[in-house]
Structure 1
């Protein structure tokens, strides 16, 4: 089974979890980069407002062909209680995703808010089947047990649906 992990990470937390998932399932990693020319603080403030509005932004890669994968995993930090505009743009940029199973995870410093519901909406709007969601607090990123639990949940969700 070929799994592709598509994620956006600003501080490295989401990247860390995505790498654990890729190691556990021999998955392909695709990191989404925000093409905006803001400094780090300005990017966060401007993009949080965009996250609230569930907007999209220019990203690299601009198109992602996932037709060769059986299942997809999406990862994002939580901004304004939602996934980032960059991961929204990435989901919108997918080619060959229709009918595939997908799951999503988020990393957060407070609460995940509506991130799971928004991820599910975006995934299903692209014709995929959302089979699960998970989240992990930034304080637990380095906790191998908590990270393993999240990875197990996501991989179990992928294999069970």
Structure 2
């Protein structure tokens, strides 16, 4: 089974999680970054506004092929209760993913904002032709706890099983 992890990480927290997933599941790892980087201040001002409006950032890589991917893990931080605009850009960059199963993962300060973001990410993933089969919300406590990562990885593994 081929697993591809596509992620955006502004502060490094999401990156820490996906690197563990990458190692445990031998997944391909694709980091998406905005062509115009956010500073700490612009992430709060411009980035959160873009997240609230559902705007998709122009990203690198600008095309992401899911050919031969059995399960894609989409992972991003939550900005203003929404998926980051960089992840919105990643969804627009996908090709060859029609019908590909997707596990959705967000990192956030509190689970309530994560619930809102997961619902939107699920809808946008479906609109992109993906089939959401699982989700995970890691709040600031779970991000630093390896105890939360082990069951998350098992849920991803299960989501990828046919």
| Class of the TM-score when normalised by the shorter of the 2 chains | over 0.9
Distance apart, 1:38 and its partner CA: 4.3
Runs of 5+ unmatched residues, structure 1: none
- Kindly report which structure 2 residues correspond to 1:28-67, keeping only aligned pairs within 5 A, or say none: 28-67=28-67
Runs of 5+ unmatched residues, structure 2: none
Moved beyond 3 Å, runs of 4+: none
Q: Which of residues 126, 129, 132 in structure 1 aligns to 2:131?
A: 129
The 3 A distance-change label for structure 1 pair 38 and 25 is closer
8 Å contact kept, 1:132–1:158: no
Q: Secondary structure at the match of 1:114?
A: helix
Q: Secondary structure at the match of 2:121?
A: helix
Distance apart, 1:151 and its partner CA: 1.9
Q: Secondary structure at the match of 1:109?
A: coil
Q: Which of residues 146, 150, 156 in structure 2 aligns to 1:148?
A: 150
Report the Cα distance in structure 2 between the residues aligned to 1:7 and 1:37, rounded to whole angstroms: 15
Q: Secondary structure at the match of 1:57?
A: coil
Report the Cα distance in structure 1 between the residues aligned to 2:150 and 2:82, rounded to whole angstroms: 23
The 3 A distance-change label for structure 1 pair 38 and 128 is closer
8 Å contact kept, 1:109–1:138: yes
Report the Cα distance in structure 2 between the residues aligned to 1:18 and 1:38, rounded to whole angstroms: 21
**Residue number in structure 2 paired with 1:109:** 109
**TM-score, normalisation: structure 2:** 0.92
The 3 A distance-change label for structure 1 pair 37 and 84 is closer
How many equivalent residue pairs? Answer: 160
**Residue number in structure 2 paired with 1:6:** 6
